[in-house]
Amino acid sequence: MVELKASLDGTSTQKHQFDPNMGYMVDFTKLTNVNDLVVILSAMGISFPGNHPLIEHLTPFLNLESPFPLQQPKETELPTLKKV
């Protein structure tokens, strides 16, 4: 939903309300400089496990002072199916 507001001087502003149940694609045509891309990449929360094959090449770019534990996928037991 887009809300359009007009002021007395003739200018208008749009206010977007984001639906938390929807996903939004990045419109790369709206980027104006490299810093805009850095903001997008930072928001993605990209991380690499310590056993990544290229971790030595990535080391200069990693925040080594603040590591965090990786969540291991939970093993779920499959249900037993009846034989037909």
- Output the pLDDT for position 70: 86
Q: What does the pLDDT read at residue 10? A: 61
Using the predicted structure, report yes or no on whether residue 5 has a pLDDT greater than 70: no
| Separation CA 7–CA 12 (nearest Å) | 6
Q: How confident is the model at residue 72, as a pLDDT?
A: 75
- Asked if residue 2 has pLDDT above 60, the reply is no
Look up tokens 């984001």; give the residue.
18
Cα-only R_g, the chain: 23
Which tens digits make up the pLDDT trace of 10-43? Answer: 666 667 788 999 999 999 999 999 999 999 999 9
Residue 49: name the closest of 58, 41, 40 by CA.
58
Percent over 90 (pLDDT), the chain? 56
